[in-house]
Amino acid sequence: MNVRALSCLGLVALLCAAEPAVRAASPNYRNFNVAVYCRVYEVRQMKDPAYLENAWAAISPHVKVDKVYLETHRDTIVVDQETLDKAKAFFTAKGIKVAGGITATISEMNQFETYCYSNPEHRKKLQAVVEFTAKNFDEVILDDFFFTDCKCDLCIKAKGQKSWTAFRLEQMDEAGRNLVMKPARAINPKVKVTIKYPNWYDHFQNLGFNLETEPVYFDKVYTGTETRDGVYSNQHLTPYHGYSIFRYFENLKPGGNAGGWVDSGGMRHLERYSEQLWLTLFAKAPEITLFDIRQLYQPVRGADGTSVPESQLARLAGYAFSQADGILGALGTPVGLKTYKPFHSSGEDFLASYLGMVGIPMDIVPAFPAEARTILLTEAAKYDTGIVAKIKKQLQDGKNVVITSGLLKALQGKGIEDIVELEYTGRTVAAREFLGRGATTRSETDILFPEIRYATNDSWEIVSALTSAGRTTGTPVLHSAKYSKGLFYVLAVPQAQGDLYSLPAEALNAIRGVLCRDMFVRLEAPSQVSLFVYDNDTFILESFRETSTPVRIVTDKRITKLRDVMTGREIAGQPRGNESVFDTSARSGAYSVFAAVK
Ligand SMILES: [Zn+2]
């Protein structure tokens, strides 16, 4: 058991003591709503009034629930009208809103088998489920599975010469319009339909999730912010991903990202549950859905041997919600380094989340962010065929453009050399010593970098990786070149993106100095300390490290004092050139919220 797990047990003890006083303060959370999702398997059980009473008795003392989603279909199982009516009546009588949910799976257990949208029987069945659900609810959400992984003979024939990606993007766009939106509105003109997306956006296009068209014709989108374990998982998602994905989907449909969604799956430590919830809220999600009632309802044995309704997860959630509700009102709109992800693009998958984990606040946008003074372009930007011209225009306008080594590689021979002649050599080199701002620092392990060749004095290294056993050779980690009135940079991304965590603090500080130059605050700290910045001189510091670590906060000179919003404590800054610096520490598994004292 590590330190973070221990602190989690402490948290459970603390919240049991603290909860009643907090709960008495207000009937609902001020800054967000809470929903509980119920799968069709559990909705079926609601036929039994005792199940409903007990599940509700386990959850409702801890979490102030505003809404429940009652699923009508999953795995070809459809709930009967009588049971659905009982469930609706139960929650409505308690003042809880009810909405419908649909999961378009044939068999979730069979490697997430989805519907086949080439199969007329499947299409008919799904349309009937949509009609049944829209008849019962004014709000309907589609859970994660409105994509297709079908490769049956009908689909192979329908695909023809197209790529699977092109075929599925078209197929799901059509299915969304004709099997969901059209029949839902025909049955219930008032119905609002939300499409909930899972957490793997860089691969969506391959399975037909269409982020270009669906956010336009669905009423709302919803965000899977479940990142589960940050190390031992097949998906390899970082904790920061739960924040940045919400902001990305908000940018897909401004004002139309209805909420974030967390489950309890795949975690080694309970602490990760609370952390996923508050990261969703840091992103300013207006609603948070707890998936699902089965995971939340955890009865325990009473002294007399009978089953007592209980929910440790709801206790954790209730504490995390109360604490976050106390700070969210102080925060403005989230801001970050804009990084451009064209529709249906991939490359250096989820790199923005890794950069968030090394203390660079990120903001993923689907349109080229021409207005931003500094932007980051990853390999995904190669999907925009006009990208080199757009980079040149930024530089000619006196702005800064940072591209990654992955994009440099993709644009070799495609016009990037018109800006600066750099060569992505294709060789990989190992480094554990780094040179930047005149000082050398070491990482604990070798980090593998792509080697980049440049012409001396045409462009220059800001951070260097010293390679070979004698450290007599090297390659840039951060490189800069002038072009017109702007500055152009290349950031070399380690061959394994997670090795960004191994970069020493001094190298990361130099990188943050360039990438975060337009923000009023940045960090000088080791990796795995994240910074969440808002447009009203407030920010959050959260450590994902195993132990506490010293952190230096650097702000604009105009800020001389910071107030810790949770404790009221004030810290005075020390002047350093055009900046103020504040020395503090980041506790493991905890966050601090700061506001500039004006
Ligand atoms: Zn098929």
Summarised one tens digit per residue, pLDDT across range 134-143 is 999 999 999 9
Q: How much is the average pLDDT of 167-193?
A: 98
Report the separation in Å between the CA atom of 528 and the middle of ligand 1, taken as the mean of its atom positions: 43
Closest by CA position to 30, among listed 227, 325, 314: 325
% of the chain beyond a pLDDT of 90: 90
Would you state the pLDDT for residue 2? 39
pLDDT at res. 14: 42
pLDDT of residue 269: 86
Give Cα separations from 41 to 53, 84, 103, 262, 309 (angstroms): 17, 12, 12, 19, 19
Report how far ligand 1's centroid is from the alpha carbon of 331 (Å): 47
Contact 99, 159 (CB under 8 A): no
Whole-number Å distance, alpha carbon 154 to ligand 1 midpoint, is 5
Q: What is the C-alpha to C-alpha distance for residues 525 and 522, in angstroms, rounded to an integer?
A: 9
- Mean pLDDT, range 448-457, rounded to an integer: 96
Helix (H) or strand (E) holding 586: strand 579-586
More confident residue, 229 or 289: 289
Q: How far is the CA of 376 from the centre of ligand 1 (A)?
A: 39
In this prediction, residue 16 has a pLDDT band, given cuts at 50, 70 and 90, of very low
544 or 14: which leads in pLDDT: 544
150 C-alpha to center of ligand 1: Å?
4
> How far away, in angstroms, is 101 Cα from ligand 1 center?
23
Ligand 1 centroid to Cα of residue 211, in Å, is: 22
Does the pLDDT at position 146 exceed 80?
yes
Ligand 1 centre from 313 Cα, in Å? 39
- Spacing, Cα 208 to ligand 1 middle (Å): 13
Length, in residues, of the chain: 598
User: Average pLDDT of 355-359?
Assistant: 98
The percentage of residues in the chain with a pLDDT greater than 70, rounded to a whole number, is 95
pLDDT 10s digits, 431-447: 999 998 888 999 999 99
Half-sphere exposure of 377 (CA within 13 A, CB side): 29
pLDDT at 27: 63
CA of 216 to the centre of ligand 1 (A): 26
State the pLDDT confidence band at 47, using cuts at 50, 70 and 90: very high
Contact 208, 145 (CB under 8 A): no
Rounded distance from Cα 157 to ligand 1 centre (Å): 9
Q: Which pLDDT score, from 0 to 100, does residue 469 have?
A: 80
Report the separation in Å between the CA atom of 473 and the middle of ligand 1, taken as the mean of its atom positions: 54
Checking 201-205 for CB contacts under 8 A at 24+ apart, the result is 201/245, 201/248, 201/249, 202/345, 202/346, 202/349, 202/350, 202/380, 203/346, 203/349, 204/147, 204/344, 205/165, 205/168, 205/169, 205/343, 205/344, 205/345, 205/346
Distance 105 CA to ligand 1 centre (A): 13
Taking the centre of ligand 1 as the mean of its atom positions, its distance from the CA of residue 239, in whole angstroms, is 35
Ligand 1 centroid – CA 233 distance (Å): 29
Q: Which of 347, 355, 370, 338 is nearest to 478 (CA)?
A: 355
- Confidence tier at 106 by pLDDT (50, 70, 90): very high
Over 90: is that where the pLDDT of 149 sits? yes
pLDDT tens digit sequence for 340-353: 999 999 999 999 99
Residue 265 CA, ligand 1 centroid: distance in Å: 29
Residue 328 phi, psi (nearest 5) = -65, -35
Ligand 1 center–CA 224 separation, angstroms: 26
Output the CA 175–ligand 1 centroid distance in Å.
Answer: 13
Q: What is the pLDDT of residue 230?
A: 80
**Cα 278 to ligand 1 centroid, rounded to whole Å:** 39
In contact, 587 and 548? CB cutoff 8 Å? yes
**What is the distance in A from the centroid of ligand 1 to the CA of 115?**
8
Ligand 1 centre to CA of 134 (Å) is 26
Dihedral angle, C-alpha 333, 339, 341, 346, nearest 10 °: -130
How many Å lie between the centroid of ligand 1 and the Cα of residue 155? 4
CA of 153 relative to ligand 1 center, distance in Å: 7
Position 266 pLDDT exceeds 80:
yes
* Overall average pLDDT of the 484-504 stretch: 97
